[in-house]
Copies of this chain bind each other. A is one copy, B any other.
Amino acid sequence: MKTKENILIVGAGLCGSLLALRLGQRGYKVTVMESRPDLRKVDISAGRSINLAFSDRGIKAMNMVGIADKVMPLCIPMHGRLVHDVEGNIFMSNYSGRDNEYINSISRGDLNALLLTEAEEHEAVDIIFNKRCTKIDIEENIATFYCYETKKEIEVKADVIFGADGAGSMLRKSYYLERKFLFSYSQNYLSHGYKELSIPPTATGGFRTEKNALHIWPRGDFMIIALPNLDGSFTVTLFLSYDEGEYNFNNLTTAERVQEFFEAQFPDLIPLIPELTKEYFENPTSPLGTVKCSPWSYKNNTLLMGDAAHAIVPFYGQGMNASFEDVVVFNEVLDQYEGDWEKVFKTYEKIRKKDTDAIADLAIDNYYEMRDHVANPIFKEKRKLEMDLEKNFPEQYFSKYSMVTFNEDLPYSKAMKIGRAQDKALLNMIADDEIDTTADLKEILKKVQAETNEILDEDTVANLKH
């Protein structure tokens, strides 16, 4: 086998560091350039996405690189959504009827640090911080970086450059601006932004509310969620419109207004967030956007991966898992075509793009589901029925959520297609009173499956061949 190429990875975030680790394991010479300081030495979180949902697709990726056992201690299992209404009533809605299926809250920083350390164990992997990518010449394969320490620009030439540089990717920008080829591109923002707040631990380091759940305060036009951290705190995220409705980010400009908003809508949260107004005004308000593009690669030289190729909104808890799965799929394609980068890149996109498009769309769906539908009676009845089906037929019934989250070998695009048809079947059968809840559950299962298949068939015919 010929000497492996020099690889440059732009970005040492979750995707870039996992990719570096895997390529290091495969024997490549890898340089990773990261604009921020080493997060193992400096706290750089600053009120943004402190913790994330980690589930089976992510775990599969950790198994690929052999570090799942080191990741699990960083995880806090969340068995379901714990829904809080305005009166302070709560109810739990499990993620699955199977006991072994749950998602995890994990610190982005802790996981990223572990991946960096594991990658650096490989002598051929070099991670360099404080270098911001300012330009990529996709013809000559040269990336230019501004060094925050020397204040100078440096150029790095590599055989292959991976853009794992996140939603604001410089490599993607090069594709867009250089106009060397027809580049399909979209950036779509929701009308809502988000802001992070926090529930501190108790004086003794305990949790102020239920630890093993994803808390949610759905209010129709806006919502709050909270995820637990290992230190007993919760990271709280407010999703709110920028400029619509009685309360929005643009008109919540005083401490009094913020206090009034929380008293009216989230009274049970007020005692839990002691620094409410301080955090509200200190932490940034960030937009929620979806990015899709194609092609992801140029010749045999450069490839977009992770958020750089497909940034999604956070409502399915799949952003990190999808980026990790990118590396799993890429690794499989590399097994097949190693040595022919252009073939690897094209095959990878052909296999992967439909799935990242699907999870992007599913995440938007869940934005509405979480805000509105979790409190809708038909939706609640559907969830209850699905829990019963999963509990009683653990090998035969999988909700859309389970297919997306816990069935790591089912591609997102199939999970979406089947899951949407199944949801449609269930919601219509419930709305039309076609499900006799006193009937035998096995009969209900058969009916749901038949109806789902009919919906899939009808869609196939309506779309003819395409």
Contact = CB atoms under 8 A, between A and B. Distances in A.
Interface of A: 182-189, 242, 287, 289, 292, 368, 372-373, 376, 378-379, 420, 423-424, 427-428, 431, 458-459, 461-462, 464-466
A372 B376 CA distance: 42
B185 A187 contact: yes
A372 B185 contact: no
Contact of A424 (B423, B431, B462): B462
A466 B188 CA distance: 18
A423 to B, nearest CB: 6
Contacts of A420: 462
A349 to B, nearest CB: 13
In order of increasing CB-CB distance, the 8 nearest A-B pairs are: A186-B186, A424-B462, A182-B189, A368-B466, A184-B188, A431-B461, A428-B461, A428-B458
22 contacts: A182-B289, A183-B187, A184-B186, A184-B189, A185-B187, A185-B188, A186-B186, A186-B292, A368-B464, A368-B465, A372-B466, A376-B464, A376-B465, A378-B464, A420-B462, A423-B462, A424-B461, A424-B462, A427-B462, A427-B464, A428-B461, A431-B461
Contact of A186 (B182, B187, B376): B187
Binding site of A, secondary structure by majority: helix, strand, loop or mixed?
Answer: mixed
Contacts of A242: 182
A36 to B, nearest CB: 21
How many copies are assembled? Answer: 2
A220 B289 CA distance: 36
A307 to B, nearest CB: 17
Nearest to A372: B465
Contacts of A289: 182, 184
Given A378-B464, A424-B459, A427-B461, 17 more contacts: A183-B187, A183-B189, A184-B187, A184-B188, A185-B185, A185-B187, A368-B464, A368-B465, A368-B466, A372-B464, A373-B465, A376-B465, A378-B461, A420-B462, A424-B462, A428-B458, A431-B461
Contacts of A378: 461, 464
A186 B357 CA distance: 14
A185 B186 contact: yes
Contacts of A427: 461-462, 464
Contacts of A466: 368, 372
Given A368-B466, A373-B464, A376-B465, A182 B287 contact: yes
A376 B184 CA distance: 30
Nearest to A242: B182
A50 to B, nearest CB: 23
A345 to B, nearest CB: 15
A242 to B, nearest CB: 8
Contacts of A462: 420, 423-424, 427-428
A221 to B, nearest CB: 11
A382 to B, nearest CB: 10
Contacts of A461: 378, 424, 427-428, 431
Contacts of A423: 462
Contacts of A424: 458-459, 461-462
A428 B287 CA distance: 42
Contacts of A465: 368, 372-373, 376
A322 B428 CA distance: 36
A379 B184 contact: no
